[in-house]
Amino acid sequence: MSEAAQSTFVYVTYIRTSAEKLWSALLMPEFTQQYWYNMRMVSDWKAGASWQLVFADGRIGDTGEVLEIDPPRRLVLRWQNEFRPEIKAEGPSQCTFELEPSGDITKLTITHSSPRPNSKLIVAVSGGWPMILANLKTLLETGKPMAAQKL
Amino acid sequence: MSEDDVFRALGDASRRTLLDRLHHRNGQTLNELCAGLDMTRQAVTKHLSILEHANLIAVQRQGREKLHFINPVPINDIAERWIEKFQRGHLRALSALRKALEEDDHE
């Protein structure tokens, strides 16, 4: 497929932590709610399992299926937005997390793509991911989330 | 990649042009990025490697091709470190004012 026919964003950040700690921070609800707009990631984390991203008030933000899971290196999720009708209508996207440890630093690459050109989902997440990753980096490197007003 | 690398990488008009082109259309090959530019292929390759070293672009292999993606994470970090705390709202208003006035001048 030509890249023009789909929408893809790639985010790369380097975090001074182990791949194992970063993996837990990406998947465990008690971690995610500290850096991910108070949202909780919920799943059994097995290939084929469903997952949900749940708002603090219980509303479902996003859902999908675990397509591939290889802890603590690689996670591929089918990603369906649920809370914005115009984005939900686009159908599923795919999000890949890759963790590459190197010394005391772990490189995290997130690739989020939609088969649709000019996807609204990809534009919406492109604003969210950099801030979520900045919060995650601060949490893992200092043990504290960023100031509350950032979330 | 330190903050110095990011500022150094951004301190060059050709590299900013390459980032603008990726912002306009993400995931381009070297050939696509070279098209219509007044730069040799070698120069574009060198600029892309500096941008990659500064983590401003990410390169992914797709089949036989290498695609270049803009990575907004370091730019977000600069925004938080250097812009957010200086009251972005006021800066946005000033920048909108300047744009409006300059567009007037061009009419």
Is the pLDDT confidence value at A10 over 50? yes
Give the pLDDT band of residue B80 (cuts 50, 70, 90).
confident
ipTM greater than cut 0.85: no
Is the pLDDT confidence value at A135 over 60? yes
Average pLDDT over all residues of chain B: 88
| A–B CB contacts, 8 A cutoff, strictly below | 45
Which stretches of chain B sit within 8 Å of chain A by CB? 1, 25-28, 55, 58, 60, 62, 67, 69-73, 75-77, 80
- Report the gap between the CA of A8 and the closest CA in chain B (Å): 7
Average pLDDT over all residues of chain A: 88
The residue to which tokens 């008690």 are assigned: A30
Rounded to 5 degrees, what are φ and ψ at A90? Answer: -70, -20
B8-29 per-position pLDDT tens digit: 999 999 999 999 999 989 999 9
Q: Name which of A8, A13, A130 is nearest B26 (Cβ-Cβ).
A: A8
Q: Name which of B55, B58, B76 is nearest A134 (Cβ-Cβ).
A: B76
Q: Which residues contact A90 (CB under 8 A, 6 or more apart)?
A: A81, A114, A116, A119, A120, A121
Question: Residue A3 has what pLDDT?
Answer: 45
CB contact under 8 A, A8 and B71: no
Q: Which of A1, A2, A3 to mutate to test the interface with B (most CBs of B within 10 A)?
A: A3
Q: Which helix (H) or strand (E) holds B68?
A: strand B65-70
Burial of B104 (0-12, 13-18, 19+ CB in 10 A): exposed
A69-125 per-position pLDDT tens digit: 999 999 999 999 999 998 899 999 999 999 999 999 999 999 999 888 888 888 787
- Report the gap between the CA of B6 and the closest CA in chain A (Å): 13
Q: Which residues contact A29 (CB under 8 A, 6 or more apart)?
A: A40, A41, A42, A54
